[in-house]
Amino acid sequence: MANAPVAPEFAHLVDLSADALGTFVLFATDDYFAEKENLLKPGAPEWREGAYTDKGKWMDGWESQRRRTEGHDWAVIRLGASGRVHGVLVDTTHFKGNAPQEVALEGIDAPLTSTAQMLEAATGWFEVLPRQPVKPDFPNVLRAKTPSARVTHVRLRIFPDGGVARLRVYGEVVAEPRTFWRRGSVDLAAVENGGTIAAVSDQFFGPPSNLLLPGRGVNMGDGWETKRRRTPGSDWCVIKLARRGVVERLELDTHYFKGNAPQATLVEALDEETVGAAAVEGLLRAPKGWQTLLARTPLVQHRRHQLEPDRPLPVTHLRVHIFPHGGVNRLRVYGTALDTPAERRALAWLHALSADEASALFLSCCGARAWAETMAASRPFASARELFAAAENVWWKLGTTAWLDAFAAHPRIGSSKKGKAQTAKSAAWSKGEQRGVDASEKAVLAKLKALNDAYFEKFGFIFIVFATGKSAPEMLALLEERVGRSKKAELETAAVEQMKITRLRLEKWLAERGGER
């Protein structure tokens, strides 16, 4: 059963809260009458006449008990896809005398490993939708005045209490840039990376957005399926890729489509950077103006097909034809992501620096002078991916002396003192990486400091850990485990952690510099 229809302006957006993407309700202040997990159930809310539990009327949604104290209830949801929120559906269907009077939505960009306790203590929450009234027994569509900043979690507040059947959070996916900077290929069409459907010829039985979902579909209804054509030609859909890239391999899956799989496919490509953004809209449904990426290729039913493009092309959009009609379960578009114009500008700026200036920049990312100077001498980098690959290759080739030099540039955990060669920018980043420690209880911090002193006495260098997303107790547990290792094993572990820190600092630099206009 489908959800209640939403506003037309949400039709081109992604449901960031879709259960299929891995959305999870982390916490609710109260879900006495109906479980918080029901908020994310696929399909429309159900009504069961005369159905009761030992707590009360069975309801298909999240429902808190009647408050007898001041305040209100809320739920914290980790989104399956991070992104900018344009609006939400707060569906109170079947909640007639027990719906909240008002709702509000907040968001935060936080590590996906954050616990409910960490999120409740976080100070980075911001307003996505202001407090506003909602109707009972109604699919309330609430629009944001402007798209929000990137969020990974949302907090739905209901005033003062009551029940909400479903929550849908509509927006545009904003994947972590590192998704496209890593070694190897990436699925350029995956919805969690930012792939979307730009146009379609027919979606009578199933929408083409199903093609981009993770995993394999669970049945024939979990794919893209068109009605039976009674005219010549083919059905097709246009996919806007998450990032401009060069396609290396396509994976087209007709799983579960046995009596209605297409006989063949043909894939065409379009590069927005080449034709211009203004021309793309007119070309989406145009029969001409596209390049052939994959010539017409036979398909069989109930099979995952591995398809190789006829030639490498930089593309932003793909038009996937199925002949003459039928159904496809999933589509994967594996390829190499290309740099954005902003990333190209950032690299050009880096390449224009003098050797000393470039070394200073790299030294702010890693305190090993040999690493910084080698990176400066390795310029130019053909792409952001090559920059990060070089950072790792140089690090692992330099070895112990450089590693110890980098370790010495860090302050000890729980200390505000700088190590040698630590620049002001590096110090600021180190402080940011240790925010979880600074906010921890004094007893845990004292244990960390004392054990770190013992660690230093044993190994001759400080405890290095990639602290982002870790609480103070988690880091204490790591320190307790690692202090018992051999020096050789611990040196290699510390080098791995240092590389994570270096990469994060490089990522921050590229994101900040690339964001300049």
Reported confidence tier of residue 5, pLDDT bands at 50, 70, 90: low
Query: 249 pLDDT exceeds 90?
Result: yes
Q: What is the mean pLDDT of the chain?
A: 92
Average the pLDDT over each of 60-64, 354-358, 409-413, 454-458 and give the range with the smallest value.
409-413
Query: 164 pLDDT exceeds 80?
Result: yes
Query: 430 pLDDT exceeds 90?
Result: no
Query: 77 pLDDT exceeds 80?
Result: yes
CATH T-level fold of 342-514: UraD-like (1.10.3330)
pLDDT for position 200: 96
In 122-278, DSSP assigns E strands to 126-133, 139-143, 150-159, 163-164, 166-173, 186-187, 196-200, 224-225, 235-253, 264-270
Q: Which is it for the CA torsion 457, 459, 461, 466, positive or negative?
A: negative
Between CA 491 and CA 497 the distance in angstroms is: 10
Where in the sequence of the chain do the CATH 2.60.120.260 domains occur?
8-172, 178-337
Query: 429 pLDDT exceeds 50?
Result: no
Where in the sequence of the chain do the CATH 1.10.3330.10 domains occur?
342-514
Query: 425 pLDDT exceeds 50?
Result: no
pLDDT for position 517: 36
Distances (CA, A) of 373 to 135, 354, 378, 395: 63, 11, 9, 12
pLDDT in tens, 434-447: 444 444 467 888 88
pLDDT for position 3: 46
Reported confidence tier of residue 448, pLDDT bands at 50, 70, 90: confident
How big, in percent rounded to 5, are the helix, strand and coil portions of the chain? 30, 25, 40
pLDDT for position 420: 40
pLDDT for position 514: 74
Please give the average per-residue pLDDT across 381-397, as a whole number.
97
pLDDT in tens, 7-43: 777 888 999 999 999 999 999 999 999 999 999 999 9
Rg (CA), the chain: 26
Between CA 271 and CA 97 the distance in angstroms is: 53
Please give the average per-residue pLDDT across 407-419, as a whole number.
68
pLDDT for position 415: 57
Alpha-helix runs per DSSP H in 284-399: 341-352, 355-363, 369-377, 384-398
pLDDT for position 427: 31
Backbone angles phi, psi at 170, to 5 degrees: -100, 135
According to DSSP, the β-strands at 235-253 and 304-307 are antiparallel
Which DSSP string do the residues of 403-470 spell out, in sequence order?
A: HHHHHTTSPPTT--PPPTT--HHHHHHHHHHTHHHHTS-HHHHHHHHHHHHHHHHHHSS------TT-
Query: 156 pLDDT exceeds 50?
Result: yes
Between CA 427 and CA 430 the distance in angstroms is: 5
CATH T-level fold of 8-172: Jelly Rolls (2.60.120)
pLDDT in tens, 89-133: 999 999 999 999 999 999 999 999 999 999 999 999 999 999 999
pLDDT for position 413: 63
Please give the average per-residue pLDDT across 276-283, as a whole number.
93
Reported confidence tier of residue 473, pLDDT bands at 50, 70, 90: confident
Between CA 278 and CA 485 the distance in angstroms is: 60
The CATH number of 178-337 is which of 3.30.365.10, 1.10.1140.10, 2.60.120.260, 2.60.40.10? Answer: 2.60.120.260
DSSP state of 9: G
pLDDT for position 12: 87
pLDDT for position 414: 55
pLDDT for position 6: 64
CB 301 within 8 A of CB 257: yes
Query: 163 pLDDT exceeds 60?
Result: yes
Please give the average per-residue pLDDT across 283-307, as a whole number.
97
For 277, other C-beta atoms within 10 Å of its C-beta total 9
Closest to 21 (Cα-Cα) out of 87, 92, 105, 78 = 78
Average the pLDDT over each of 142-146, 170-174, 225-229, 414-418 and give the range with the smallest value.
414-418
CB 9 within 8 A of CB 95: no
Contact partners, residue 282, CB within 8 Å, separation at least 6: none
Q: Which helix (H) or strand (E) holds 81?
A: strand 73-91
Query: 332 pLDDT exceeds 90?
Result: yes
Please give the average per-residue pLDDT across 395-413, as a whole number.
92
pLDDT for position 189: 98
